[in-house]
Amino acid sequence: MIIKNNELQKFKATKCNLYLLYGENRGFKNQFINDTLSIDFKDNIFKYEENEVLSDYNNFISSILNRSFFEEKKLYIISNASDKIIKLVEDFISSNIKDVKMVFIASILDKRSKLRNFFEKEKKTVCVPFYSDQNNTLSFLATNYFKEKKISISQEVINFLVERCRGDRSNLNNEMNKIYNFAYKNGKVSFEEVFKITNLAENYSVNELIDNCLAKNQKRISTIINQNNFSNDDCILILRTMLNKSKRILKIKKELKIDNNVDRAISTYKPPIFWKDKEIVKTQLMNWNAYDIENLIYKINDIEYLVKNNTMNTFNIVSDFIFDISNKTNN
């Protein structure tokens, strides 16, 4: 059974004992677990990695099935779930245990995933996709957070936070907590202070790389790559940044079909585009048509899947992809 993000507030966790939470939005997944799924379990929450379960499967499933009548209900959270864990799901369903809840956490699962298909079709399970938050959602969360904490902060700073958090509210929450710890005594914080105290400045080179990629500025791309020691570990960050910025281009392109005024479309975009980025966004809009940017969005997801299934030379895959994008002309 599939539950959409906008249905989660009304969802009652007592309905089911088996959950699959998948997608790139770690922060939203953690929030759903903490606020909804784990509230009735007190300290009886047990966390495992999938490989831990599979390496000692018989003992693990036995400990769940052979429970004492007096044991309290338990919550098991299995991270990095994949198709390999389906047997556990099937065994759990057939056992019909009432006082154990099991949550499987996975990253991106495409439509071919057996685990995803099983949870979507099985009526006794719940499947929730957690896609990247839209920037306007993150902006709303940040504005409310600082209002509740009584911290004076400009919209410019909030825009900066949102832009650099790449659609993941866990990143946003981490940075907002840092800002609060820094500013709670004075009740205010400047852009320069935020830039220094957060980790977001470290991601600036990634944003600059992708901005120039979408602007098709190969010379600048080469310079950025040569000046930064990007590693295989940076690949997902680079691809997520590219995905978010590509979606922004597509959204503005659709607005331009209604009102063909580029400056107005950029100025009225929500959440607002950081003023220093407006010129390069304008260049990106000139370099892409809606058809090609839609195809790029699909391709980014394919490349991320490829990267996650390769353990070596993943940055070579991503850098080749970036140069290929920047070298292409619109049809």
- Considering the segment(s) 5-129 as one domain, its CATH architecture is 3-Layer(aba) Sandwich (3.40)
Alpha helices for 85-217 (secondary structure H): 86-95, 114-121, 135-148, 155-164, 169-183, 191-197, 204-214
Dist. CA 238–CA 79, nearest whole Å = 23
Taking only the tens place, the pLDDT of each residue in 72-105 is 788 899 999 999 999 999 888 888 787 888 999 9
- 57-64: long-range contacts (C-beta < 8 A, 24 or more apart)? 57/87, 57/88, 60/88, 61/88, 61/91, 64/92, 64/95, 64/97, 64/100
Q: Which of 162, 164, 53 is CA-nearest to residue 102? A: 53
| Token reading at 265 | 């479309």
Compare 161 and 85 and report the one with higher pLDDT: 85
CB-count burial class (<10 Å; 0-12, 13-18, 19+) for 61 = middle
Residue 10 — very low, low, confident or very high, per pLDDT cuts 50/70/90? Answer: low
Amino acid symbol at 149: K
Compare 3 and 74 and report the one with higher pLDDT: 74
Compare 284 and 124 and report the one with higher pLDDT: 284
Lowest mean pLDDT among 48-62, 118-132, 162-176: 162-176
Domain ranges of the chain: 5-129, 135-198, 205-327
The DSSP symbol for 2 reads: B
Q: Does domain 135-198 have CATH number 1.20.1630?
A: no
Whether pLDDT at 11 is above 80: no
Return the pLDDT at 230: 76
Q: Does domain 205-327 have CATH number 1.20.272.10?
A: yes
Average pLDDT over residues 295-303: 92
Return the pLDDT at 203: 61
Average pLDDT over residues 156-181: 82
Residue 178: how many other CB atoms lie within 10 Å: 15
Return the pLDDT at 12: 64
Return the pLDDT at 8: 65
| CB-based contact 313:231 (threshold 8 Å) | no
Kindly report the backbone phi and psi dihedral angles of residue 47, in degrees, each rounded to the nearest multiple of 5, phi listed first. Answer: -115, 135
Mean pLDDT in the chain? 84
Dist. CA 167–CA 170, nearest whole Å = 9
